[in-house]
């Protein structure tokens, strides 16, 4: 368990150590991978050579290489019938939903390449630590969520910036109804 917490904290430190500013670590990939918000541009660079319109015949589509069932199950069809037909921003939106439920394990090789681990939630307008802790049934509630993300959130947990990636501790729910 301490190793999982350490991995989550390490991933958090890579992802969002400031007030709402995405941290751009110095990934091993090319500078091109930084053209989309960190870390999504780098994941796409790793998964599909940064081709958001990738349709190579391998059964996975788009920059983040979504399986058709994953694209559908996470609401991608609201943007386009298949991932490779959606914009990078739309694919990232679906990717954030996948990340909340599956964690970085949805992209195992690329997550390992960039040191990404665990599950995370991207703060949305109207989110508070209390609402996020309740939505994901975080063990330890809002206090547990704050302790895990204190470096990212800062000294005032009431100032939660949109776009910040919050680490979700092991044992948290999926954030979906019934999950």
**Where do the domains of the chain lie?**
2-168
For residue 26, the model assigns a pLDDT of 39
Nearest to 9 by CA among 123, 128, 149: 149
Query: What are 91-145's pLDDT values in tens digits?
Result: 999 999 999 889 999 999 999 998 888 888 889 999 999 999 999 999 999 999 9
- Domain formed by 2-168, architecture: Orthogonal Bundle (1.10)
The band of 32, judged by pLDDT with boundaries at 50, 70 and 90, is: low
- Contact (Cβ atoms closer than 8 angstroms) between residue 92 and residue 47: no
Residue with the two structure tokens 């053209």: 35
pLDDT at 21 over 60: no
Tokens matching residue 34: 């930084």
Nearest to 41 by CA among 74, 88, 84: 88
What is d(CA 24, CA 140) in angstroms, rounded to the nearest whole number? Answer: 30
Query: What are 51-88's pLDDT values in tens digits?
Result: 999 999 999 999 999 999 999 999 999 999 999 999 99
Helix axes of 40-48 and 88-102: crossing angle, nearest 10 degrees: 100
């Amino acid at each position: 368990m301490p190793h999982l917490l350490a991995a989550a904290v390490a991933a958090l430190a890579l992802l969002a150590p400031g007030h709402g500013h995405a941290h751009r670590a110095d990934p091993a990939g090319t500078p091109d991978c930084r053209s989309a918000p960190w870390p999504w541009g780098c994941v796409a660079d790793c998964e599909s050579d940064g081709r958001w319109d990738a349709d190579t015949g391998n059964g996975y589509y788009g920059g983040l290489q979504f399986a058709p069932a994953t694209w559908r199950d996470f609401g991608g069809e609201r943007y386009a019938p298949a991932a490779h037909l959606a914009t990078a921003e739309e694919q990232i939106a679906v990717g954030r939903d996948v990340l909340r439920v599956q964690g970085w394990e949805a992209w195992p090789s690329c997550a390992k390449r960039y040191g990404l681990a665990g599950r995370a939630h991207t703060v949305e307008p109207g989110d508070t630590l209390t609402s996020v802790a309740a939505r994901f049934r975080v063990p330890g509630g809002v206090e547990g969520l704050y302790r895990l993300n204190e470096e990212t959130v800062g000294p005032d947990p009431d100032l939660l910036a949109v776009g910040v990636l919050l680490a979700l501790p092991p044992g948290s729910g999926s954030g979906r109804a019934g999950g």
